[in-house]
Chain A
Amino acid sequence: MTTTPLPSITPQPDALGRFGRFGGKYVPETLMPALSELEAAYEQYQRDPQFLSELQSLLRDYVGRPSPLYFAERLTQHYARPDGTGPQIYLKREDLNHTGAHKINNALAQVLLAKRMGKQRIIAETGAGQHGVATATVCARFGLQCVIYMGIHDMERQALNVFRMRLLGATVQPVEAGTGTLKDATSEAIRDWVTNVETTHYILGSVAGPHPYPMMVRDFHTIIGEETRRQCQEKWGGLPDILLACVGGGSNAMGLFHNFLAEQTVRIIGVEAAGEGTQTAHHAATLTKGQPGVLHGAMSYLLQDPEGQVTEAHSISAGLDYPGVGPEHSYLMETERAEYYSVTDMEAVAAFQRLSELEGIIPALETSHAIAYLETLCPQLTGSPRIVLNCSGRGDKDVQTVAKYLEEQSA
């Protein structure tokens, strides 16, 4: 691998919550004191030994961490050259976490924070339902009232997760506005927070939203990268060569990437959802096709029309179906520390099938986007670089969507 000079990046946002020109706090005044309160609480408890030890023991005994770093032997063989060399593909198995995705890392940590802040009511937004399920789970565990905002379109395509959330005692609040997807659910959750801010904590599920969320959510997921680093050391005594993760809002990607940002030999790649193709109007490739703007409290890349109206995103994956992206990803792209590409619905579904057939692992449709990018990436590589792909979630929730998609394709 060729090494490029390390771009000058700062891993922490400034006092206004900015990564370069991205981030900040673009919210109604009513929320500003709550954001300051959250910032102060996070600042305090991230150094609090009791908080950290409670979090660590729950991550181990309740979530099931550390998640394994698994060598995907048959997937690796699939991309091997005739001479037997080729990229060595490892999967960071976040899909094996309790509730089936990385989302629980953040939900658990935030609920511990909310308890210490004296908030008895929890709200969250969800797209694929994974963050909603994770939040409902930790609220059940700690006996807190829980309201999950979910777009009606997503409730239909992720019906299994709606049932799971209700089973866990959460109220699932349907959001009909707009396209009935993650963007609208997030707006509605923010409106609830504006209204009930004094009693309620908002467990935002991605590295998006106003400061301190992008930094805090990232920090709660950095355990993914920390474990990966240790596991790489154990397995081959070195660093990975390439990190690969899907990016919607971008929390699983930031969780994997952050620990390696200063390692100049590590190539970092995020994969967005191209939906029906970035040449069409039906995609969610925010970094590839968007422009800087403000959505849900942060300056970041954004899909928008010439009037600055936020446009509808499209992806077969509900978790990636979002016209925004976390501000730190915008920063990493502009500083060229990370590369961002996109894959279509069709490519993602093919990858969903491929991993199922080759490894006996049914990945989430979100994760399938990262897997699909191997098709493009692997033929470009020389030697046998080690790729760590964040297997961010499992795909049980998606089997009906994929079945329907395949039926439509063959019709």
Chain B
Amino acid sequence: MLKWALLTTLLFPSMTSVSQRFQTLKAQSQCALIPFITAGDPDLETTAKALLVLDQAGADLIELGVPYSDPLADGPTIQAAATRALGRGVKLDDVLQIVRHVAPEIQAPIILFTYYNPIYHRGVKAFFEQIAAAGVKGLVIPDLPLEEADEILAIAQQVGVEVTLLVAPTSPSERIAAIARQSQGFIYLVSVTGVTGARTEVASRVEELLPQLRAVTDKPVGVGFGVSEPQHAQTLKAWGVDAVIVGSAIVKRLAQGTPEEGLAAIAQFCQSLKSAIS
């Protein structure tokens, strides 16, 4: 397994890990912007272009969602995007093919966002070897809590992919500490009790949860779910988060109009998010 990690590093020397990216940003006292898109919506070609566009428009890392039939943690926007992508026959291998081509071209490390069943079905080890070889740097699995994550975390380390765990507003403090200890790359703080999707305000609970996290970990903290406006990003930065994650608001813009219009819209939106936290 170490061989794979070594080989990946040799093949793509320019590619940085999620942790490294956060270290660089921290040295510059910057808050990271992590946009999310659903792979294959509206089509794979647009996904490849969107990665390039987001990278150009200020994305520091990019979350790439693998479409899934039963996305329990997602609200209507991302559900619909996944359904459209699956309707077009988008498969995990197609997504990895894009990563293989685009990752060497961009600065932002790619974090894959996928539900657990497709991972389990492929075989955990095979899955990790394949995503690492394609150039994926991080992984978020929204339906895999700490209790079920042991095997995944161990294998991830072997292939050099960082698995980021989620903390929720409902997580009690001892769980927060345990999750923070195990999470790799950064800690994904879910801002709301709820599924993904645009909200009108940033949940004020984030402000209370941050010091709790800071007390138990030095790892970077990224906040997502419901973050949908430059104003939200600005508020979060003021509270001291290390990264803001914006999903549905980007997925929605990318899906509107022609692919060219969608790409132009997300470029502009990504820039406005970035300038809000710069």
Contact = CB atoms under 8 A, between A and B. Distances in A.
Given A30-B193, A33-B171, A191-B195, A308 B148 contact: no
Interface stretch (B139-147, B241-249, B254-262, B270-278): B139-147
Interface stretch (A21-29, A105-113, A258-266, A331-339): A21-29
B169 A30 contact: yes
Given A194-B73, A308-B122, A309-B118, 19 more contacts: A24-B148, A26-B148, A28-B72, A28-B142, A28-B190, A30-B168, A30-B190, A30-B194, A32-B175, A177-B79, A187-B72, A294-B120, A296-B70, A304-B117, A307-B118, A309-B68, A309-B69, A310-B70, A311-B69
B206 to A, nearest CB: 14
Given A24-B148, A197-B193, A310-B70, A30 B117 contact: no
Contact of A183 (B70, B147, B169, B175): B70
B17 to A, nearest CB: 23
Contacts of B75: 191
B245 to A, nearest CB: 15
Interface string A189-206: 011001111100000000
Contact of A32 (B91, B117, B171, B192): B171
Interface string A279-310: 00000000000011111110100101011111
Interface in B41-84: 68-70, 72-73, 75, 79, 83
A354 B43 CA distance: 52
By secondary structure, the A interface counts as: mixed
Interface residues on A, range: 35 or more
A25 B79 CA distance: 22
A127 to B, nearest CB: 16
Contacts of A31: 170
A28 B122 CA distance: 21
A30 to B, nearest CB: 4
Interface in B104-121: 116-121
A248 B192 CA distance: 34
Given A30-B170, A293-B120, A294-B120, A310 B69 contact: yes
B170 A198 contact: yes
16 contacts: A16-B148, A27-B72, A28-B190, A32-B170, A198-B193, A292-B120, A295-B70, A296-B70, A302-B117, A304-B121, A308-B118, A308-B121, A309-B69, A309-B117, A310-B69, A311-B69
B86 interface: yes
Interface in B81-105: 83, 86, 91-92
A304 B69 CA distance: 10
A34 interface: yes
Contacts of B168: 28-30, 32-33
A178 interface: yes
A197 B83 CA distance: 26
A195 B225 CA distance: 12
Given A28-B143, A197-B193, A310 B117 contact: yes
Interface in A307-348: 307-311
Interface in A139-184: 177-178, 183
